[in-house]
Amino acid sequence: MPTRRRRVALAGASLTVSDPRSDTDAQTLLAEAEHPRFHFEFDDPRLEAALTSERVHESHGRLQLSGDLDLNGVAFPVLLRLRVVERADDRLLVVGAARLPYRLLRRATGFRLPWRVPATRLRLLVAAEFA
């Protein structure tokens, strides 16, 4: 099966923590936060999409986000696995992927690929920097 790729720009990414303190650096930010929340917005003229995390689990430099992918106003559950590429006092750089079953995504949200593009799953790749 051929692989089809399409780049969608990340319009915005935000990381919100429940108890931000001014003396907390990025290395301890996720460890001390009770419920960090990631939010990614994608910029595409044909598709309005945003991903918001509900739960975040961290282990060995990797983050596992469970949340909702909002496609054109309809939420679809997603598991996004992120690798922490760089942590500094004022910066956090992550890269990750989520696998989406195409048939379930199409039924739930109405998202459709052209008929000439067969697909069983879609992979959403995300790279973001938080400063």
Along the 131 residues of the chain, how does pLDDT read in single tens digits?
Answer: 566 777 788 888 898 876 655 555 555 555 555 678 899 998 888 778 899 999 998 888 799 999 999 988 899 999 999 999 998 888 889 999 999 999 999 899 888 888 888 888 889 889 888 88
Domain residue limits at 113 = 9-130
Domain assignment present for residue 4? The answer is no
Domain assignment present for residue 39? The answer is yes
Model confidence, pTM: 0.77
Cβ–Cβ contacts within 10 Å for residue 103, how many? Answer: 10
Domain assignment present for residue 2? The answer is no
Cα–Cα distance for residue pair 37/35, rounded to 1 Å: 6
Cα–Cα distance for residue pair 50/11, rounded to 1 Å: 10
Domain assignment present for residue 117? The answer is yes
Number of structural domains in the chain:
1
